[in-house]
Chains A and B, each alone.
Chain A
Amino acid sequence: MNDAAAHASVTVADSEAAGGGASASVDLSALLADSHIDEVLDELDAELIGLKPVKARIRDIAALLLVERARKQLGLIGGSPSLHMSFTGNPGTGKTTVAMRMAQILHRLGYVRKGHLIAVTRDDLVGQYIGHTAPKTKEILKKAMGGVLFIDEAYYLYRPENERDYGQEAIEILLQVMENHRDDLVVIVAGYKDRMDTFFRSNPGLSSRIAHHLDFPDYQPDELEEIAQRLLQGMQYRLSPSGVDALHEYIPLRMQQPHFANARSIRNALDRARLRQANRLFEQKGHSLTRDELMTIEGEDLRHSRMFT
């Protein structure tokens, strides 16, 4: 108690020296600059296209943690906030990518100590025979401590049709650790929206321990186009003007297909276009290829897709 009071009075002196108010204060913007969190958030904005509600929520969480840190400096004890999260959304909407970023952000804000991400699925947590599940789950949890545990397709943990399924055991251990080791790790469960909802309904204990439910919206056609451009840039390719047109027509067609997986489908389409580009270049062997030719994906590379036939 004494310590906190002494600390607070130091801050008073500091702020008075800086021309601040008479009461104890901390400079939030200094804290912000100190944590370099702005850079990560800006990076997030720049590198991830769309996902407005998700980004807004991440900013909220970052603000909360900064304020929490400021409060701590003035000796206000609020207990660390619970940051377990659930990411729901259709396939390919960026759940894993955001989880990876989240680990970084939480590390910068000093909420997790190491900031690594352990991505697991049911197979990594649930054992095959009696007594196998607990050590397996605990081992994964120990590895994730100091970072973020990302459980993809978490609803597979719960199999109501088999009452002797070991998934329940894994969930119970998970709940215990989520409650007792809140400072040691952050658990993020992810999956498709409807199935996660049923999962949470049948596991109210889990649902109530997760403070943040983030829903990942589907991408709009123009966002997907931007993602495609970004992906190609990353692979050092580019689209010719005819390629841009073809992509523009391709995306709405692809979106109507069953099993459309947002950004993942786009990446697969680009991979196939690369394949066709390679084939096309191979057929015109005889003359040497320029750097430009090797980089450019033409309209015909995309138009050979079965979407157009």
Chain B
Amino acid sequence: MRITQGTFSFLPDLTDAEIRAQIDYSLEQGWAIGVEYTDDPHPRNFYWEMWGNPMFDLRDAAGAMTEVSGCRKAHPSHYIRVNAFDSTRGFETTRLSFIVNRPKHEPGFQLKRNEVGGRAIQYTIESYATEKPEGSRYE
């Protein structure tokens, strides 16, 4: 099941040229760029691992693209996203976030039913991928 998180997630995967264009747009707006990765696809998993520090004061997408390809090399079958941060309000707010890399096979989610207090049922979802320990989920 294809994960749809962040901007452009209902489109086909972005090509490198398209990613570069998006980063260039973000830099034109004066936003900082950060690269993050994870192998836990749960929609409530907000805090992904940072790939290096966020990049401030870039002028061209080439610098951020080297980090994206570096992260892809190290984690070829993780989810990788590019975040763009806006500091207008005095703190860094995410203005744009899109996935640039995803595992070849995404196993999807299981719906779990938990019976509580009589006939009431609590629903939750759990990714089949997270049944395996971190780091070996998409091998």
Residues of A within 8 A of B (CB): 113-114, 116, 135, 139, 141-143, 145-147, 181, 184-185
Contact = CB atoms under 8 A, between A and B. Distances in A.
Contacts of B53: 135, 139
Contact of B59 (A114, A139, A181): A114
B52 A114 contact: no
Nearest to A118: B59
Contacts of A139: 53, 55
Interface of B: 52-53, 55, 57-64, 66-67
Contacts of B60: 113-114, 145-147, 184
Contacts of A114: 59-60
A89 to B, nearest CB: 27
B52 A143 contact: no
Interface centre among B57, B61, B62 (most CB of A within 10 A): B62
Contact of A143 (B57, B61, B66): B57
B63 A141 contact: yes
B58 A145 contact: yes
The A interface is mostly helix, strand or loop, or mixed, namely loop
Nearest to A185: B62
Contacts of B58: 142-143, 145
A230 B71 CA distance: 52
A146 B52 contact: no
B72 to A, nearest CB: 16
Given A135-B52, A184-B62, 18 more contacts: A113-B60, A114-B59, A135-B53, A139-B55, A141-B63, A142-B62, A142-B64, A143-B58, A145-B60, A145-B63, A146-B60, A146-B62, A146-B63, A147-B60, A181-B62, A181-B66, A184-B60, A185-B62
Contacts of A135: 52-53
Contacts of B61: 146
A21 B60 CA distance: 41
A141 B55 CA distance: 12
A181 B60 CA distance: 13
A184 B59 CA distance: 11
